[in-house]
Copies of this chain bind each other. A is one copy, B any other.
Amino acid sequence: MRKVFQADLQQIGEDLIEMSQRVAEAMERAWDSLANADVDLAQEVIAEDAKIDFLQTQLDERAIDTLALQGPVASDLRMIVGSLRMSASLERMGDLARHLAQLARLRFPKRAVPSAISETFSKMAQLDIRIARELGRLLDTRDLAIASQIIELNRELDKLHSSVFQIIAEESWQEDAPTTVDVSLTSRYLERFGDHGVSVARKVTYLVTGEWEPQG
């Protein structure tokens, strides 16, 4: 019984790592589709998101079965409940990558991202990809130094997000209103992706230390 239980926990951990790898890839491809107005790539990202959703459903079913069959307590119980939370955050990260791809598709053959803002968004997307990749490493190694790094990457992301609204507020901003909308939503999606990454990192920290990290 104990052996089966350890195998279940192991599998849940591996599913989380796989989800984090897939959302890293989804963000990488979504950003490429948006930056290059590549509608085929956008289409692929949108289709692939269903697989991330499926992974979440599968992980959640496994977690619930483990709760039912093994009746875990203490740290094992918290680990499983925590996994349900983390899978929800990772699934949402996949959705946000999909939103970017959907925007690329909606505006095709036009590029949704004006050149004045393209470099900032590129940096934000790179931070998102790094956050998702580091999450995979964090879930694998439970090395809490990685969690701190993720929180730091997200701070940079937040600064870039704020800078987008400063750029839009400048007189030199001459884009039309629908483009301004696209830019503000894109910035929001890129920023939220990082927030969810931080949620997962905090959850891992909590599971390792038993202490909830203060926000900020």
Contact = CB atoms under 8 A, between A and B. Distances in A.
Prevailing SS type, chain A contact patch: helix
Contact of A67 (B81, B88, B173, B180): B81
A67 B67 contact: yes
Contacts of A73: 68
Nearest to A173: B177
A155 interface: no
A144 B8 CA distance: 35
Interface residues of A, number: 24
Quick one: copies of this chain in the complex? 2
A74 interface: yes
Interface in A158-191: 165, 168-169, 173, 175, 177-178, 180-181, 184-185, 188
A19 interface: no
A178 B169 contact: yes
Contacts of A165: 178, 181
A1 B58 CA distance: 32
A110 interface: no
Nearest to A67: B77
B175 A168 contact: no
11 contacts: A64-B78, A68-B77, A71-B71, A81-B84, A84-B84, A84-B85, A169-B177, A175-B177, A177-B177, A177-B180, A185-B185
The 5 closest A-B pairs by CB, nearest first: A71-B71, A181-B184, A180-B180, A68-B73, A168-B177
Interface of A: 64, 67-68, 71, 73-74, 77-78, 81, 84-85, 88, 165, 168-169, 173, 175, 177-178, 180-181, 184-185, 188
